[in-house]
Structure 1
Amino acid sequence: MKEKLSLFFQLGKSMAKAKRTITSCFIALSVIFCCACSGGPINSSISSSTDASSSSDKETIPEKDPETEDIAMSSLKTLRSLSGTDALGREVTPVASLSESRQVGMFYFLWTGEHGSTGASKDGHILDISKLNVSEIKSSSDIGRHHYWDEPLYGYYRSDDPWVFRKHLELFALAGVDYLVFDYTNSWGSDTQRPNNYYKDVTDILFPVALEMQNQGWDIPKFAFMLNNTSDKTVKWLYNDYYTKEEYNGLWYRATDGLARDKNVEGKPWVVCGDSVENLEENIKDKFYIKRTQWPNEKPSSDKTWDYEYKDDGFPWMSWERTKDGARKQYSHNGIMSVSIAQHVSGAFSDSVLIENNYNAVYGRGWSSLDNNGYGGNNKERVAAGSNFQEQWDYAVGEARKGNVNNIFVTGWNEWVAQKQPAGNGRKTSYFVDLYDDEFSRDAEMSRGPLGDNFYMQLTENIRAFKGVPAASKSLAMQKKSIDLNGSLGQWDGVSGFEDFKGDTAVRNHASSNTSLPAYTDDTGRNDIVNTRVVYDEQSITFLVTCAKDITDYENGDKTWMNIFLDVSASSETGWNGYQYVVNRTFENGRSTVQKLGADGEGTASAGTAQIRKKGRYLVVQIPRAAVGAAADGFTLRFKVSDHVVEYKDILNYYVQGDAAPIGRFNYTVKG
Structure 2
Amino acid sequence: MDVTNAVRYWEEWDVLFPTMQKMKAEGNKVPQFCFWSFNGPAITVVQDLYEKVYKAGKYKDLWFYWDGKPLLLYNGTPSVDANGQGIKHPNPNYDPAAKTDPNHPHYGDPDYTEENYLDYTREVKDFFTLRTMWWGYYEWAGKRFIGTEDNWSFGYDLGNDKVAAMNPDDLVSRHLGQKEEAAVTPAQHPSSLVGKSWSREKGEPELNDQDLPVPTLVPWLGKTVEHPEGYGIYFQERWDEALHADPQFLYINDWNEWTAGKYQPGDGKTTHFMRRDSPYFFVDQYNAEFNRCIQPMKGGYTDNYYMQMAQNIRRYKGARPIPELKGKSSIKIDGDFSDWKETDVEYRDTIGDTFHRNHKGYGGLVYVNDSGRNDIVTSKVAVGDSSIYFLAETNAPLTAHTDANWMLLLLDADKDINTGWHGYDYLVNKTVTDDKKTTLMKYDKEQKENPWQKVADLTYRYNGNQMEVEIPRDILALQGTSFSFDFHWCDNPADLVDPISLCVNGDSAPNRRFNYRCIWSE
Residue in 1 that maps onto 2:12: 202
> Alignment partner of 1:418: what SS?
coil
Matched residue, 1:500: 349
Matching of residue 340 in structure 1 with residue 185 in structure 2: yes
1:528 aligns with 2:375: yes
Query: Any conservation in 1 of the 2:74–2:133 contact (CA below 8 Å)?
Result: yes
Mapping for residues 115-130 of structure 1, pairs under 5 Å: none
Q: Secondary structure of 2:470's partner?
A: strand
- Cα distance in 2 for partners of 1:233, 1:300 equals 22
For residue 606 of structure 1, the aligned residue among 450, 454, 459 is 454
Map 1:270-285; keep pairs closer than 5 Å: 270-276=72-78, 279-285=119-125
The structural deviation recorded for 1:582 is 0.9
Query: Which secondary structure does the structure 1 equivalent of 2:33 belong to?
Result: strand
Deviation of residue 247 (structure 1)?
Answer: 4.9
Amino acid at match of 1:664: R
SS at match of 2:239: helix
In the TM superposition, 1:577-588 aligns within 5 A as 577-588=422-433
What is aligned with 1:552? Answer: 399
Instruction: Verify: 1:319 aligned to 2:156, yes or no.
Output: yes
Report the counterpart of residue 301 of structure 2 in structure 1: 451
Work out whether 1:253 is the aligned partner of 2:64: yes
Q: Which residue of 2 aligns with 1:216?
A: 26
Cα deviation, residue 460, structure 1: 0.5
Q: Answer yes or no: is 1:243 the counterpart of 2:54.
A: yes
Q: Which residue of 1 aligns with 2:104?
A: none
- Indicate how the Cα distance of structure 1 residues 325 and 336 shifts in structure 2: closer, same or farther if over 3 A, else same: closer
Structure 2 contact 76–132 (Cα < 8 Å) conserved: yes
Distance apart, 1:477 and its partner CA: 4.0
Aligned to 1:406: 248
TM-score scaled by structure 2?
Answer: 0.78
Residues 140-219 of structure 1 mapped to structure 2, 5 A cutoff: 182-187=1-6, 197-219=7-29
Which region of structure 1 is more displaced relative to structure 2, 540-549 or 572-581?
A: 572-581
Local SS of the residue matching 2:310: helix
For residues 173-206 of structure 1, the C-alpha deviation after alignment (integer angstroms, 9 at most, x for no partner) is xxxxxxxxx221111xxxxxxxxx2222211111
Does structure 2 conserve the Cα–Cα contact (< 8 Å) formed by 1:326 and 1:376?
A: no
In structure 2, list runs of 5 or more residues that go unmatched.
Answer: 79-116, 175-179, 207-212, 217-227
Distance 2:374 2:443 in 1: 23
User: Secondary structure, in 3 states, of the residue corresponding to 1:318?
Assistant: strand
Secondary structure, counterpart of 2:137 in structure 1: coil
Contact 2:260 2:285 in 1 (8 A): yes
Change (3 A) 1:602 1:505: farther
Q: Which residue of 2 aligns with 1:21?
A: none
1:64-75 equivalent positions in 2, closer than 5 A: none
| Count of residue pairs brought into register by the alignment | 443
Given the superposition, is the C-alpha separation of residues 507 and 566 from structure 1 closer, same or farther in structure 2, using an over 3 Å criterion? same
Q: How does 1:320-469 map to 2 (within 5 A)?
A: 320-321=157-158, 328=168, 331-334=171-174, 335-344=180-189, 349=190, 351=191, 362-371=193-202, 380=214, 381=216, 382-400=228-246, 405-423=247-265, 426-427=271-272, 428-429=277-278, 430-469=280-319
Paired residues of 1:583 and 1:592 also in contact (CA < 8 A): yes
Q: Is the 8 A contact 1:476 1:669 kept in 2?
A: no
1:563 corresponding residue in structure 2? 408
Report the secondary structure of 1:268's partner residue.
strand
| Aligned equivalents of 1:644, 1:587: Cα separation in 2 | 14
C-alpha distance in 1, partners of 2:239/2:449? 33
User: Do structure 1's residue 659 and structure 2's residue 507 form an aligned pair?
Assistant: yes
Following TM superposition, by how much is the alpha carbon of 1:388 offset from its aligned partner in structure 2, in angstroms? 0.8
2:335–2:467 Cα contact (<8 Å) kept: no
Query: Which whole-Å deviations, capped at 9, do the CAs of 1:391-415 have from their partners, x for residues lacking one?
Result: 1101111111xxxx12111111100
One-letter amino acid of the structure 2 residue matched with residue 391 of structure 1: E
Cα 1:269–1:470 change in 2 (3 A) is closer
| Map of 2:220 onto structure 1 | none
Q: Which amino acid aligns with 1:530?
A: V
Q: Report the Cα distance in structure 2 between the residues aligned to 1:214 and 1:564, rounded to whole angstroms.
A: 28
1:646 to 472, 487, 494: 494
> Matches of 1:527 and 1:487 in 2, distance apart?
18
Assess if the C-alpha contact under 8 Å between 1:595 and 1:603 holds in 2: no
Contact between 1:368 and 1:391, CA under 8 Å: does it hold in 2?
Answer: yes
Amino-acid identity (%): 29
Rounded Cα–Cα distance in structure 1 between residues aligned with 2:449 and 2:378: 25
Q: Give the alignment's Cα RMSD to 1 decimal.
A: 2.8
Aligned residue for 1:117? none
Q: Relative contact order: is structure 1 or structure 2 higher (C-alpha 8 Å, sep ≥ 6)?
A: 1
Over 3 Å counting, the alpha-carbon distance change for 1:200 and 1:455 in structure 2 is same
**Hey, what's the Cα distance between the residues in 1 that align with 2:482 and 2:19?**
42
Cα 1:457–1:324 change in 2 (3 A) is closer
Per the TM alignment, residue 273 of structure 1 is displaced from its structure 2 partner at its CA by 3.5
Corresponding residue of 2:130: 290
CA contact (8 A) 2:184 2:253 kept: yes
Is the strand fraction higher in 1 or 2?
2
The one-character-per-residue Cα deviations of 1:255-299 (angstroms, maximum 9, x if unpaired) are 3xxxxxxxx23x334343442397232124422222112322352
Per-residue CA distance 1:558-610 (angstroms, 9 max, x = gap): 44101111111278982222211110111347421111135689652112232
Q: 1:368 to 1:671 in 2, by over 3 A?
A: same
Gaps spanning 5+ residues in structure 1: where?
Answer: 1-181, 188-196, 256-263, 352-360
Quote the residue 1:108 is aligned against. Answer: none
Kindly provide the amino acid, as one letter, of the partner of residue 135 in structure 2.
W
Q: Residue 531 of structure 1: CA displacement?
A: 0.9
From 441, 447, 461, the equivalent of 1:595 is 441
Partner of residue 233, structure 1: 44
- SS of the residue corresponding to residue 64 of structure 2 reads coil
How far is the alpha carbon of 1:221 from its aligned partner? 1.3
CA contact (8 A) 1:540 1:622 kept: yes
Distance in 1 of aligned mates of 2:422 and 2:253: 28
Distance 1:535 1:638, change over 3 A: same
**Aligned-partner SS, 2:231:** coil
Instruction: Work out the CA distance in 1 between the residues paired with 2:164 and 2:172.
Output: 19
Partner of 2:500, secondary structure, is helix
Aligned residue for 2:111? none
1:254 CA displacement: 0.7
AA partner of residue 197 (structure 2): G
State the alpha-carbon separation in 1 of the partners of residues 143 and 54 from structure 2: 37
Q: Deviations over 1:485-514 (max 9, x none)?
A: 2485332224231122221112211111x2
* Secondary structure class of the residue paired with 2:59: helix
